[in-house]
Each structure stands twice: as C-alpha cells, then as structure tokens.
Structure 1
Amino acid sequence: MKVTVNVDCTPEEARSFLGLPDVQPLQEAVMAQMQERMLGSLKSMDPEVLLRTWGPMGMNNLEQIQKFFFSQFPANAGTPPGKK
C-alpha cells in the first residue's frame, strides 16, 4: 500500500504549523555581521598595507633577503664548466 500526501504551503506556514522558530531575523543579523567582517578584511588585502606588514624595514629588508638568497649559491655557479 502506498500513500502520497501533497501539502501546498509556504515555508513560513510550514514552520509555524510544525512549531519551529522563525530564525530569519537571526540569520539576517549574522549575515550582516559576516558582511561587515569580510569588507573589513578586504582592507588588509591592499598591496600597500601588505608591503608595510611584510616588510617593516622597507627596501632594506628586501635587500637583506636578496643577499641571503644569493649567498646560498656557490661563488662559481655562474661560470661555465671548465672556465674556473
């Protein structure tokens, strides 16, 4: 035996019929707060802010990183084989 019941109602009507709470105001408040936080975090994605954060000593810091990087290579790494 198979029984099919079709109910034609809106989500709000079904929620009130089943006694479920209306969470729409809570959802709107949470979404507004999430949007505010996301927009605030976009400000930190500004390239100028990122450079200031990552390089507190400005260009001197970049030069130090380059010197360290190139100091890891052997002194004769740029010369062709047999020309030492």
Structure 2
Amino acid sequence: MKINVSFDLTPEEFRRVMGLPDVQQFQQEVFSQMMEKMKSGEEGYDAMSLYKPLFSESMNAMTQFQQLMFGMMAGKSEENSNE
C-alpha cells in the first residue's frame, strides 16, 4: 500500500509549523554589516575569505561525483570493487 500526502505551504508557514526560529532579521543585519565593510574597504576585510571553505568543499564534492561517473562509464560498480 502506498499513501502520498502533500502539503501546500509557503517557506514561512513551514518554518512556523516546524517550530524553527525566524532568523530573517538577523540575516539582514549580518548582510548589511558585510556590505558596509565591503563598501568602506575596511582594512583586513576580505569578502572572498567567507566563501573559501565553501569553494573547497564544493570542488571536493565535484571531484568525487566525477570519479563516480567515470567509474560507472568504465563499468565498475561497488559490487565489483568488493570482489
């Protein structure tokens, strides 16, 4: 037996139903502070340093995905690699 249930909720409604905090104002304040620092050219502030960890993790994930795809194209699978 298969039962499907769907809910038509906005992200805001979903957040409230799940009991998650509303962090929209906090995010806006942090973004405003970042923009002020970027515009003023504050010494020692490098906006790209915020994104460096994301870039390296994204590249690792992409490399692993490529290796998975190449392995599948070569006819390898986890079942074959265990033998």
Q: What TM-score comes out, normalization by structure 1 length?
A: 0.45
Answer 1 or 2: higher relative contact order, Cα 8 Å, separation at least 6.
Answer: 2
Q: Considering only CA atoms, is the larger Rg found in Structure 1 or Structure 2?
A: 1
